[in-house]
Structure 1
Amino acid sequence: MDVRPVSPAALVEELADRIAGAPRDSWVRVALDGAPAARPGELAGALADPLRVRGREVLRVSAADFLRPASLRFEYGRTDPDAFYDDWLDYGALSREVLNPLDPGGSGKVLPTLWDTTTDRATRAPYVTMPPGGVLLVDGALLLGRWLPFEVTVHLWLSPGALARRTPEDQRWTLPAYARYEEEAGPLALADVVVRADDPRHPAVVTAL
């Protein structure tokens, strides 16, 4: 694997330039994919203002707000890595309520949140209408290889050792799911941009696998 070291600030600027360079007459759906230990939500937050400076409206959506109800997520127990991989995220709802409305000719009406896992109830959030040229930033894990329509995909990759070290003890049962994701979905090959994120202070853009 060949990498190009880059500062966190420079990484944000590079990604903002790439995203903002898309045609301005259509929406841009961006996946920021990575395990929680890779902090994809932080990258999404860091990108918002630079994109607005470049003249783009921005809407952030977290995949964590589109999980299935607890009765479905925990059908095989609370720590089943295969259920975590296959059943936790409601990919159908994410497509229907967030991504598909931003297809060419779509309504532009996006549901920013669907399910509150704390209360295990629907959030009843109102729809948000994105203007043409707006950027949707979707952060979360296990997003690639699921036939979700994105114009730009960024994968934050952690080596197995770094992923294990940076995953809290009570979440390490998810590690087999991420190993399965890398083997079956191949996010390093699928993503438009791969960032090695073993050390969040010193990211590196992968230039060759």
Structure 2
Amino acid sequence: MGPVRLEAITWERLTEAVADTVTAVKAEDGSPWLRVAVDGAGGAPGGEFARRVEDALRLRGRSALVVGTEGFLRPASLRLEYGRQDPDSYYSGWFDTGALWREVFGPLEAGGSGLVLPDLWDPATDRATRSPRVRLPPGGVLLLHGPFLLGHWFPFDLTVHLQLSPGALRRRTPESEQWTLPAFQRYEDEVGPAGAADVLVRVDDPRHPAWGGTG
């Protein structure tokens, strides 16, 4: 696959374009719900963009639910088993992918209940959040945002990757989190999210995104 051609776009137009794309997508497994990934490092505005798309979908008469993987961190005893700054653990051991499969994707399978758990674990208290489940009606859209989403075979119907160049990622990552940078390089090497995603958005300058499809 050759390089993706990216075109400058405003966040408003990008939001409308992605919402239009979502409304045209059908779930391949026959599920009445759609599952959309907004994949990106912490320095990319994944949560903000997911909420923008949520608002745009609701204006189109589609229910939507934004869920962040930061609510599905594993307990500190497991997450920090190899220390607080181990990039390999961050890449493959910090996020509870089993819980995401069980509590988020499972209820949205064909024949599922539609009852999604919006979060499971509070890293500040290192305790279960005990949040109530949220019912997503048939035709609704899950917008899951967080890092490393494209490496787990999650059943997404549409994937958006918010890309940062290595230099931009370094600049946008706080000094206290610079130790995570090797994990994102490993993700690039092993998964190649820019080529794997359905929609690629370059966000080196958060004021001026650029986008393109990868298909």
- The TM-score bracket by the shorter chain reads over 0.9
Q: Normalization by structure 1: what TM-score?
A: 0.96
Partner of 1:22: 25
Partner of 1:154: 160
Partner of 1:41: 47
Partner of 2:71: 65
CA distance in 2, matches of 1:52, 1:200: 24
Partner of 1:6: 9
Partner of 2:118: 112
Aligned residues with identical type, % of pairs: 57
Unaligned ranges ≥5, structure 2: none
Partner of 1:76: 82
CA distance in 2, matches of 1:91, 1:59: 18
The number of aligned residues is 209
CA distance in 2, matches of 1:186, 1:100: 26
Shift in CA distance, 84/105, structure 1 to aligned 2, threshold 3 Å? same
Whether 1:172 aligns to 2:178 is: yes
Deviation for aligned residue 1:206: 3.1
Match of 1:204 among 195, 207, 210: 210
Corresponding letter in the other structure for 2:188: E
Unaligned ranges ≥5, structure 1: none
CA RMSD of aligned residues (A): 1.5
Contact 2:201-2:209 within 8 A present in 1 as well: yes
Deviation for aligned residue 1:185: 1.2
CA distance in 1, matches of 2:92, 2:37: 18
Match of 2:138 among 132, 139, 159: 132
Partner of 1:51: 57
Deviation for aligned residue 1:101: 1.1
Corresponding letter in the other structure for 2:178: R
Corresponding letter in the other structure for 1:159: S
Contact 1:23-1:133 within 8 A present in 2 as well: no
Contact 1:37-1:167 within 8 A present in 2 as well: yes
CA distance in 2, matches of 1:129, 1:164: 38
Contact 2:114-2:137 within 8 A present in 1 as well: yes
Deviation for aligned residue 1:83: 0.4
Deviations 1:21-56 (A, max 9, x none): 234981111110000101101101111111001110
Paired residue secondary structure (2:43): helix
Whether 1:145 aligns to 2:148 is: no
Deviation for aligned residue 1:208: 6.0
CA distance in 2, matches of 1:77, 1:162: 26
Q: Normalization by structure 2: what TM-score?
A: 0.93
